[in-house]
Amino acid sequence: MARIYYYTVHERIWHWVQAAAIMLLMWTGLEIHHPQTWSLLGFQTATTLHNLLGFALIVNALLGLLYHVFTEEILQYVPQHKDFFDMAWKQAAYYLSGIFRGEPHPIEKDPDNKLNPLQKVTYLLILNLLLPAQLVTGLLIWGAQRWPQLTERLGGLVLLGTVHTLAAWGFAAFFLLHIYLATIGHTPLANIKAMLVGWEEQHHGAHKHASEAPRRRYGLSQVGRVEAPRTSTSQGDE
């Protein structure tokens, strides 16, 4: 079993800042919409925190976009394989039944292909539709008193609030699915640990592909680094 360096410090910070912001936004959003049921922070504090977190999410999204564009990691999210639909079907079949029968993963992961076809489609929808809809509607709701004419032109607070709420529930559904899928590695915490430390233990042959094609793009020279399989002694010490 070898360890491969998959996630840079920038990717991990971006991921966890985004995760924390979205979780807190969902909680404060519940307090804003249902203050009688959810009242841990109080309406005023929840509203202020919700607005601050919204701006933090916008900044984090822009920084993440710049990072992924300049390092070309954005290509990880673009479906490119000629057998994309066939591979997507195999991946769906694995999630629906194969995983419960202990079948091997149909698509081998490596540093140049971190995402399977279904993940690519999901993240394309999340990052290009759901996240922008959430950020834009949230910004317009926040600025309704500052730009009333713009708000009315775009459907008013009723429409903006509805879209914002639906997008929030979409994020909640994705969040639960994301947590579940994060636990289906070779151990329940393997994928989560990889996103914390950058290194992922690989039980298949992906380390061969990684060592054959090291990254040379800006800021990614360490991605694809392979640590030799550990001895039985070191494994026993873990």
Alpha-carbon span 214 to 147, nearest angstrom: 50
pLDDT at 88: 84
pLDDT at 230: 53
Q: Do 32 and 46 form a contact (C-beta atoms < 8 A)?
A: yes
- The pLDDT tens digits for 149-178 are 888 888 888 899 899 999 999 999 998 989
Within-domain flag for 89: no
Residue 84 lies in a domain: no
* Residue 201, H or E segment: strand 199-202
Q: Where are the alpha helices (DSSP H) in 71-203?
A: 84-96, 117-125, 131-142, 148-153, 156-182, 190-197
Residue 86, in any domain of the structure? no
What pLDDT score does 213 carry? 45
What integer pLDDT is reported at residue 56 of this predicted model? 93
Say which DSSP state 5 is in: E
Q: Is 88 within the bounds of a domain?
A: no
pLDDT score recorded for residue 207:
45
CB-based contacts of 52, cutoff 8 Å, min separation 6 = none
Computed from CA positions of residues 192, 57, 110, 172, in that sequence, does the dihedral angle turn out positive or negative?
A: positive
pLDDT of residue 62: 92
User: Cβ(17)–Cβ(55) under 8 Å?
Assistant: no
- At 55 the pLDDT is 93
Indicate left, alpha or beta for 198 from its phi (over 0: left) and psi (-120 to 50: alpha).
left
Residue 90 within a domain: no
- Identify whether 6 is part of a domain: yes
In the chain, the number of structural domains is 1
Quote the pLDDT of residue 238.
38
pLDDT at position 45 is: 92
Domain of 171: which CATH number? 1.20.950.20
**What confidence score (pLDDT) does residue 146 get?**
85
On whether the CB atoms of residues 28 and 21 are closer than 8 A, the answer is no
Q: Which two tokens stand for residue 90?
A: 């195999």
Whole domain around residue 16: which residue ranges? 2-79+95-237
What does the alpha-carbon distance between residue 232 and residue 186 come to, in Å, rounded to a whole number? Answer: 18
The number of residues making up the chain comes to 238
CA dihedral 35, 39, 42, 47 (to 10 degrees): -60
Give the residues of the chain that fall short of pLDDT 50: 206-216, 218, 221, 232-238
Radius of gyration of the chain measured on its C-alpha atoms = 21
Give DSSP secondary structure letters for 151-185. HHHTTHHHHHHHHHHHHHHHHHHHHHHHHHHHT-S
In a domain, 148, yes or no: yes
Nearest to 26 by CA among 58, 54, 56: 54
pTM for the complete prediction? Answer: 0.77
How much is the pLDDT for 109?
Answer: 80
